[in-house]
Chains A and B, each alone.
Chain A
Amino acid sequence: MSEAPAVGETPRYYVPHTSVWPIVGSVALFIMAYGLVTMIHQTTDKVAAEGTHGVWIFYIGLGIVAFMLFGWFGTVIRESVTGMNSGLMDRSYRMGMQWFIVSEVMFFAAFFGALFYARVISVPWLAGAGSNLETHTFLWPDFADVWPLFMTPGGTETEAMEAWGLPFINTVILVTSSVTVTFAHWALKKSQRIALGVWLAITVLLGAFFLLLQVVEYAEAYEELGLTLGSGIYGSTFFMLTGFHGAHVTMGTVMLAVMLFRVFSGHFTPENHFAFEATSWYWHFVDVVWLFLFTFVYWF
């Protein structure tokens, strides 16, 4: 922080107008949360709630969130384009995005923690490891400690997802997309607008292709392998980790598509393109998470 400017040349720190978007977002999140719970209650057997309006409430909330993001980011873009942002503010945005990614890392850490706990502790213990022989003998004497868990203590069976099929192809796709988004960034910094558009478009397509293959993989898991959310801790961790990762890829692809649209609209200069950079950070983060996923969920 030693680069803080001297007094005379203090930059303006733009403190925005009152803004309507945060409260719109808060209300939308509330509607989404209420709709989601209502939808879950109406569609799962545990709570027999009447009706089907939950899903519509959820979509309304989601729609308002999208509207809010559109409006909020639109405002920020206008401020940026009209030069209201100082270098100091640019750094605030950068740091904000970096800490947001840190928080996302910790969100995934919770699910990876569950995976490692199951593999290293709960499954061996249920099979009698350590001082747990009695649990094994009296509760589930037939249960064996293997991973992937082909049969749960309760007797639910499943097959494992093979790492070197679709998942490996997806790994190649995602790593390639991290490279192409970097090429796009280099092109942007050299003002090569056509190369920028091409590389970015390729990145978006790779993201979408990854998602498509993920859907194919899920269909295969459910229909051919019998691997479902309900097939024990292997299925639970598999779908929780890949599902949340997939949700992040979806978000990332949408963000990249928005960047592509902004490139077509002539936004971004070699010096000022924070939104593009933030998106590419996010994309690299999603990529790195996938490498961990591929290693610990599919491979070993």
Chain B
Amino acid sequence: MTSSILLSATTWVYGLSAFLYLAAWVFHRPGLEALASWAAAVGLAANTAAFFLRWAESYWLGMGHAPLSNLYESLVFFAGMIVLVHLVVERRTGNRVIGAFSAPLAFLALAYASLSPNISDKIQPLIPALKSNWLIAHVVTCFIGYAAFAVAFGVSLMYLLRTRAAAPGRLAGRLPEPELLEEWTHRLVVFGFLFLTAGIITGAVWANTAWGRYWGWDPKETWSLITWFVYATLLHARLVSGWRGRRIAVLSLVGFGAVLFTYFGVNLLPGLHSYQTTG
């Protein structure tokens, strides 16, 4: 399938972008940053094109469903959303060091999708449980949320490095100002929280039409709720208790750990979302 080839190429474009961002930061070559941004934008364009091509291909194969139905397809969408969120943050902040921590995440997501022997890139027909209009709403909202949390993870990590010592080293010193990182951790978490909430809700409504229950303590559901609890804790700690800085950054890392477990780890546990593993 052409879309898979295009996505393999996208993986390397994201890899190049991540490499350029990291090189610009580590070797202090700000000239490379613009190049890195361009690579990210080109990668996103290819990622988007491949997404819609794959959608069309599924029609040509007589199935006709959005490419959001298995692990491979969700990783492709996830990678694209990470880059999109990252580029928006980059534009809004005017700071291009952030890419050194978010572009690698997009690269890893797509590389995992393309290279892992356990993940098939074949377009498969939808099993009856997935034949629903809620599929698109549920997956899209969840992964926009996850992508915001992924970029928030990168920003929080930068914050922790930047504020590790009273006088940051040369490498950490080139990271953005702590105030900017702290502010954007919050913004991204808020944005991700809204979409995670929407993702859980669309999932619940869907579960109610498919299985006759909106909540069943299936491990994936439970882990999405755990993730929600962690980020709700972060928001309450910051907005009501006035937590700032490192504690918030640590909670953001914990939250992203919960996201990753919801996404990958749950497949090790039994449950109704298990079709994800056969992707």
Instruction: Please say whether chains A and B are actual partners in one complex.
Output: no
Which B residues have a C-beta under 8 Å from some C-beta of A? none
